[in-house]
Amino acid sequence: MPRDSLITSESDIDVGLELAGDEDEFSSHPEEHERERHRGKRREGDREKKKRGHGKRRKASRSREREEEVQARPDKRERERRRRAKSDRETGGRQRDEEGKAKIKSGKVAKTKKNITNEKTKKQEEEEESEDRNAKGKKKHGSAKKEEKQEDGGRHREKEKTKEVKKKKHKKVVETSSEQETSEQEDNGEEDNEEKEVRPESLTPEELERLKEAVDDRKKLIQVLRGKPWPMKKKLVTLRESQQFVEKYEGALGKGKGRKLYVYKVMMTKKWMKFQRDFENFRTACIPWEMKIKEIESHFGSSVASYFIFLRWMYGINMILFGLTFGLVMVPEALMGRPYGSIPRKTVPRAEEASAMDFAVLWDFGGYAQYSVLFYGYYNNQRAIGWLKFRMPLSYFLVGVGTVAYSYMVVIRTMARNANESGVGDDNSFNFSWKVFTSWDYLIGNPETADNKFASITTSFKEAILEEQESCKDDNIHLTRFLRVLANFLVLCCLAGSGYLIYFVVRRSQKFALDGLENHTWWERNEVNMVMSLLGMFCPMLFDVISALENYHPRVALQWQLGRIFALFLGNLYTFIIALMDEINLKREEENIVKFNITTWEASFYNGTVSENSTGLPFTVQPADVPRGPCWETMVGQEFVRLIISDTMTTYITLLIGDFLRAVFVRFLNHCWCWDLEAGFPSYSEFDVSGNVLGLIFNQGMIWMGAFYAPCLPALNVLRLHVSMYLQCWAVMCCNVPQERVFKASGSNNFYMAMLLVILFLSTLPAIYTIVTIPPSFDCGPFSGKKRMFDVIQETLESDFPAWFSKVFSYASNPGLVLPFILLMILAIYYLQSTSKSYKEANVELKKKLQTQNEENKKKNKRAALKAQMDLEEARKAAEQQQNNKASLQDQEADVEENHGSSQSLSHGKNGRNPPPHVRDQELPATRAPVPRTYHHGNHGTPGHLPGFPRQSEHRMYRVPSLQRH
């Protein structure tokens, strides 16, 4: 068997299956060499022989043994043959050893080697030939060849051999599909077996199929390996084995001419997999702030970390929104649009020019900031700009729609995924079990948090026990109900008050605005934003105090709290929007007046200069001097930007004062204060998850609302989120303490998402309303001069697309087609809804069924256990009759009874008085031989078996005492 004599270290070259990056890993795999070996056998001879090494051979032989295990075939005949082959191999191995020694020692190896290999090849040929002979009776042919070969020299011989092998293969291919054939192939012993499997031409389709399946199985195994609950060592061994297997036989699966292609394909899949893995590595490396969040997680538990994960998610979304607006709107306009100062809408008006660069004005986003790409008004209504013919108005419109659509998509998709993940829970049947097994937060790595967690677990257990013991207290319930109603009433009062306050403030500010902002103080100018921020800051605290009345479970309390703050913010936001609408209407009236004025102004202008120039506007007028309308879109955008800025500022300032300064104060004044500041009143602050999440959500809502009128908003928001990520991470680590009642937050994630969705809907509503119903300003923005903003679509359809397209579109958009389509959609939604409802019902039904079945099982088990006990009793009696020496037995019995009774006190109830016979049986094997058998019979005869566990459980029931005993 010259298998090893033909192992080559260079054989790697001619296959090229290895991955470039992992050479040392893979090239040391024995199986590769094995595979190569076979090819090498056929193709390359002497050159490689010189290079083989000791170690490789050893590896190969080891791997051969492994393969033996791997490819155990059920065929008996084959096994027999393999045995034969083994003995062959042994002799071969001996030879190999000798050969190896010879190689190492002698300097002029070549000749001896040749001789040895000569012998080996001869042997192999003989074997193969003889088998051929047996099968087909072609002895002469084979022997002739053999003789030929013997006469030949080394290299010639090798070539001959390869030829011959090919011939043989050919023969076999000709005679394929006979059973005899396959068995014959296999009986060439192990090595030949392998050889054959690498030679796909010689395999029958069946075998190929089987091999393919095996390889696929292995591949699957490799994929799911990480999910196997095995110790690491076993995993590693299995992985290596199956990798080897796959490597080895993958090559065998290609057929004939397609072989090269197959090898290529395998290679490409490997490369692809490696690429995927690298990409995965890269991607996880790209997730920002992972370590920060993990650290926070370990300090504060998962609820605080969930806020930061949410923040990061938000950041991602805003990045994309920012990319859209920045890349498709702002940059093209800045690069290709008309420059600043070219037309009136792009210049600061003369009246404002003096103060346009003042910081106070810029901070308010007036002056130069107002007349820049940051706001709607700056954009020109030129249909195509620059050398790219970029359709600016269209792009502006589509980006506005696209951001909203994208946000909807992302939020809904995330919600659906979350629902899938945690959709099963929600029944209370495992209350205590869950408390016991899942209450620990495995992410906690901070002693203080751990202490709090221990305390909260203990109290939750006590609460649950109390609840269990006295399921309802009458006198208490009235009180709590009253308190809860009172609390809700108070909260409603707060909400109404804050709503009125905002409305009042907005009205007042409008009055101020009409008077002219310059006459008022800073406070009066920023009243609206400040009041809104302050309300957002203090009302939640108030709610917190109120919710102390209600005495809810912390998670329920959190949801109530969230709901209330949500209502507060929403109310505030909508008052703000309504006020804005009022302002828009005011501006539009103003606009009409301005329009009229402009026409008169133009007319007067014409009248003055008509003698000189009669066509168009005179060139002498500076764009800054042209009177213009009040551009309500820019005003709306400015309002939102200001709101965001003031909101951000208040958040940061609260953070610094409320958390940082408080912490500093408590920390450093503690030793010179009259009471313990750390434990007493001010103490350190806790991280307020709900408030922060809501702040984030509302912030996002404002972004969605205002992004259409101020394309800079997503950019601002990205900046804000980025800063607050670092700031809050730092603040939470340095000046907050873990929550007293630490609880996990995974369940409430979808709650946040639902709120986000509601906010998304509510914030897109006014934006869409304004876009659809209010005509755009006549002299600013990309849609100026159109009746409605969405007319830009119509325009594009008419002028940029071929005529037939707009025709088709007009057909498609006529009500006769649209209405049925909408109807169809409603029907589909209704259908899906009803099916999901029925699924839900079926689910509930199944749950019920399962429960009843469980109970029935319990009952039946009890009955079966009783019956078995009776049988046992009888058996025991019988045994006792046979038994003579009772005295020695009695103490044993007492012993056993104790054990038995304790182990099955629940299932057997009071009936634990029977000693399990086979325990005794093990102690007194000689005399008690028949007893267990009768017991087993009785056991199998019990009628109460249910499919599934009963039988098993009975066995277990009786096995345990013996286990405990020994």
Partner 1 sequence: MISLYLQDCTYFTRKEILRLFYRYRDLAPQLVPLDYTNHPDVKLPYELIGSMPELKDNPFRQRIAEVFSEDGEGNMTLDDFLDMFSVLSEMAPRDLKAYYAFKIYDFNNDDFICKSDLEKTLNKLTRNELTEDEVRMVCEKVIDEADLDNDGRLSLEDFQHMIVRAPEFLR
Q: What residues from 870 to 909 belong to the interface with partner 1 (CB under 8 A)?
A: 903-907
Residue 445 touches partner 1, criterion: CB under 8 A: yes
Q: Is 686 helix (H, G, I), strand (E, B) or coil?
A: strand
- Residue 22 lies near partner 1 (rule: CB under 8 A): yes
244 versus 763: smaller Cβ distance to partner 1: 244
Q: What is the largest CA-CA distance in the chain?
A: 144
* Residue from 108, 226, 671, 966 binding partner 1 (CB under 8 A): 226
Which residues, 6+ apart, have CB-to-CB distance to 880 below 8 Å?
A: 886
**Is there binding between residue 450 and partner 1 (CB under 8 A)?**
yes
CA angle 541/545/551 to nearest 5° reads 135
Mask of contacts with partner 1, 458-487, x by CB under 8 A?
A: x--xx-xx--x-------------------
Of 69, 74, 137, 232, the one binding partner 1 by CB under 8 A:
232
Stretch binding partner 1 (CB under 8 A), from 364-372, 438-446, 528-536, 560-568:
438-446
How distant, in Å, are the alpha carbons of 177, 782, 829, 941 from that of 202?
10, 74, 58, 55
Q: Which stretch in 232-240, 490-498, 637-645, 802-810 sits in contact with partner 1 by CB under 8 A?
A: 232-240
Give, as ranges, the residues between 283 and 312 that touch partner 1 (CB under 8 A).
Answer: 284-285, 298, 302
Q: Does 425 bind partner 1 (CB under 8 A)?
A: yes
Beta bridge pairs of residue 685:
736
Residue 509 is encoded by which pair of tokens? 């500010």
Given 13, 14, 16, 25, the residue binding partner 1 (CB under 8 A): 25
Rounded CA-CA distance 629/601 in Å is: 13
Residue 439 in contact with residue 727, Cβ under 8 Å?
no
Distance CA 306, CA 362 (A): 37
Q: How far apart are CA 963 and CA 966, in angstroms?
A: 5
Distance CA 804, CA 677 (A): 79
Closest CA to 248 of 233, 266, 264: 266
Please tell me the total number of residues recorded for the chain in this structure.
Answer: 966
CB-based contact 306:732 (threshold 8 Å): no
Nearer to partner 1, 408 or 461 (CB): 461
Token code pair at residue 895: 């012993």
- Of the pair 212, 555, the CB lying nearest partner 1 is at 555
By C-beta, is 748 or 777 nearer to partner 1? 748
Query: Applying CB under 8 A, does 443 fall inside the site for partner 1?
Result: yes
Residue 174 or 906 having the CB closest to partner 1: 906
Cβ closest to partner 1, residue 381 vs residue 857: 857
To the nearest 10 degrees (0 to 180), the angle between helices 290-300 and 713-735 is 40
Q: Which of 69, 179, 426, 474 binds partner 1 (CB under 8 A)?
A: 426
Dihedral angle over CA of 862, 863, 868, 873, nearest 10: 100
- Calpha distance 562→56 (Å, rounded): 68
Residues 555-574 that bind partner 1 (CB under 8 A): none
The CA-atom distances, in angstroms, between 722 and each of 447, 653, 732 are: 30, 16, 16
- Cβ 256 to partner 1, closest distance in Å? 33
- Taking CB under 8 A as the criterion, the residue among 76, 105, 140, 233 binding partner 1 is 233
Phi, psi for residue 432 in degrees, rounded to 5: -70, -40
- Kindly give, in sequence order, each residue whose CB lies less than 8 Å from that of residue 25, ignoring residues fewer than 6 positions away: none
Q: Which is nearer to partner 1, 31 or 125 (CB)?
A: 31
Q: Is 858 in the site for partner 1 (CB under 8 A)?
A: yes
* 3-state secondary structure (DSSP) of residue 685: strand
* 124 forms part of the interface with partner 1 (CB under 8 A): no
Check residue 869 for interaction with partner 1 (CB under 8 A): no
Q: Is 458 or 838 the residue whose CB approaches partner 1 more closely?
A: 458
Coil, strand or helix: which one is 736?
strand
User: Taking CB under 8 A as the criterion, which residues in 792-851 touch partner 1?
Assistant: none
Nearest to 719 by CA among 659, 660, 648: 648
Question: Any contact of residue 857 with partner 1 (CB under 8 A)?
Answer: yes
CA distance 644 to 696: 11
Site for partner 1 (CB under 8 A): which residue of 359, 387, 442, 523? 442
Identify which of residues 814 and 905 has a Cβ nearer to partner 1 in the complex: 905
Which residue type, as a one-letter code, is found at position 230?
W
Work out which of 272, 275, 363, 454 binds partner 1, going by CB under 8 A: 454
Residue pair 547/565 in contact (Cβ under 8 Å)? The answer is: no
Binding segment for partner 1 (CB under 8 A), chosen from 52-60, 175-183, 190-198, 439-447, is: 439-447
Q: Which of 15, 222, 410, 530 binds partner 1 (CB under 8 A)?
A: 222
Query: Whole-angstrom Cα distance, residue 555 to residue 751?
Result: 12
Query: In 200-289, which ranges are continuous DSSP H helix?
Result: 205-224, 232-250, 259-286
854 binds partner 1 (CB under 8 A): yes
CB 252 within 8 A of CB 211: yes
Query: Which of 665, 654, 646 is CA-nearest to residue 727?
Result: 654
Lay out the site mask for partner 1 across 945-964 (x = CB under 8 A, - = otherwise).
----xx-xx--xx-----x-
Query: Considering only 451-459, 497-505, 709-717, 924-932, which stretch makes contact with partner 1 by CB under 8 A?
Result: 451-459
Q: Is residue 615 near partner 1 by the rule CB under 8 A?
A: no
Beta carbon nearer to partner 1, 451 or 582? 451
Q: How many angstroms separate the Cα of 275 from the Cα of each of 32, 281, 448?
A: 22, 10, 44
Task: In angstroms, give the least distance from the CB of 451 to partner 1.
Answer: 9
Q: Which of 69, 105, 420, 437 binds partner 1 (CB under 8 A)?
A: 437
Total binding residues toward partner 1, as defined by CB under 8 A? 78
* Contact between 919 and partner 1 per CB under 8 A: no
Q: For residues 12 and 791, which CB has a smaller minimum distance to partner 1 in the complex?
A: 12
Which 3 state secondary structure label does DSSP give 412?
helix
Among positions 280, 353, 467, 898, the unique one binding partner 1 when judged by CB under 8 A: 280
> Which stretch, 405-413, 740-748, 771-779, 893-901, contacts partner 1 (CB under 8 A)?
740-748
Contacts for 378 with CB less than 8 Å, ≥ 6 apart = 333, 345, 346, 371, 372, 634, 780
End-to-end CA distance of the chain: 53
Least separation, in Å, of the C-beta of 558 and partner 1?
14
Among 385, 444, 528, 868, which residue interacts with partner 1 (rule: CB under 8 A)?
444
The C-alpha atoms of residue 348 and residue 785 are separated, in whole angstroms, by 21
Smaller CB distance to partner 1: residue 467 or 590? 467
> What CA–CA distance (Å, rounded) separates 837 from 827?
15
- Nearest CB to partner 1, comparing residues 265 and 744: 744
Task: Name which of 575 and 904 has its Cβ closer to partner 1.
Answer: 904
Whichever of 213 and 421 has its CB closer to partner 1, that residue is 421
> Interface residues for partner 1 in 250-279 (CB under 8 A)?
277
What residues from 364 to 423 belong to the interface with partner 1 (CB under 8 A)?
A: 421-422
Beta strands, E only, 713-754: 736-737
Half-sphere exposure of 477 (CA within 13 A, CB side): 6
Judged by CB under 8 A, the stretch of 384-392, 511-519, 766-774, 852-860 that binds partner 1 is 852-860
Q: Which is nearer to partner 1, 154 or 950 (CB)?
A: 950
For the window 741-780, what string marks contact with partner 1 as x by the rule CB under 8 A? ---x-xx---------------------------------
Pick between residue 143 and residue 460 the one whose CB is nearest to partner 1.
460
User: Taking Cα atoms as reference points, which of 460, 425, 444 lies closest to residue 305?
Assistant: 444
